[in-house]
């Protein structure tokens, strides 16, 4: 994507599968598409298959004029996803240590519940955080 004289990367999430983890079938299926005005990137996709067989995923998205946010999507098949960014369970607080962005989520389950590690402030320059999903 070109903005003025500057060429900037633009990327989304596509589906691939493998029977052995070494040789991959690149299907070309676009799993997540841009939805927000000015959006140019979706990255660090972290999907989980739930006990009921459905899927949930967290990821980073950004625009040319705004830093990364953390989004959320659901799927019935793990290939095509419906974005529900307002349900991500975490929001940027510009007055906190996070400053201008939160990005690169990694979500995992523990004995204490579901947790998310994420980077903040200039791709992790300000550090990383851990968030606990409120199950109430």
All structural domains of the chain with their residue ranges: 2-15+28-132
Tell me the pLDDT band of 136, cut-offs 50, 70 and 90.
very low
CA distance 78 to 117: 22
Residue with structure tokens 């625009």? 63
Between residues 115 and 93, the one the model is more confident about: 115
CA distance 115 to 111: 10
CB neighbours of residue 70 within 10 Å: 25
12 has pLDDT over 90: no
pLDDT tens by residue, 67-99: 889 999 999 999 999 999 999 989 888 788 877
CATH level 2 (architecture), domain 2-15+28-132: 5 Propeller (2.115)
CA distance 75 to 57: 8
Query: Would you say 62 and 39 are in contact if contact means Cβ atoms under 8 Å apart?
Result: yes
Tell me the pLDDT band of 1, cut-offs 50, 70 and 90.
low
66 has pLDDT over 90: no
Instruction: Return the closest-CA partner of residue 59 out of 50, 68, 8.
Output: 68
Q: What is the pTM of this model?
A: 0.86
Could you tell me where the beta strands, DSSP code E, fall in the chain? 2-3, 6-7, 13-17, 25-32, 39-49, 55-63, 69-75, 82-83, 102-110, 113-120, 127-132
Q: What is the dihedral of CA 45, 81, 58, 55, to 10 degrees?
A: -110
Structure tokens at 59: 């990821």
């Amino acid at each position: 994507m070109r903005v003025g004289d500057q060429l900037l990367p633009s990327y989304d999430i596509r589906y691939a599968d493998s029977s052995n983890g070494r040789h991959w079938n690149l299907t070309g299926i676009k799993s997540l598409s841009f939805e927000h005005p000015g959006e140019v990137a979706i990255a660090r996709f972290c999907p989980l298959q739930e006990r009921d067989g459905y899927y949930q995923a967290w990821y980073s998205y950004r625009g040319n004029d705004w830093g990364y946010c953390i989004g959320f999507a659901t799927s019935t098949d793990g290939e095509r996803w419906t974005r529900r960014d307002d349900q991500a369970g975490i929001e940027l607080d510009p007055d906190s240590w996070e400053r201008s962005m939160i990005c690169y989520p990694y979500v995992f389950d523990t004995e204490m519940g579901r947790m998310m590690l994420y980077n903040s402030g200039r791709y992790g320059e300000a550090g990383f955080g851990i968030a606990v999903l409120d199950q109430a």
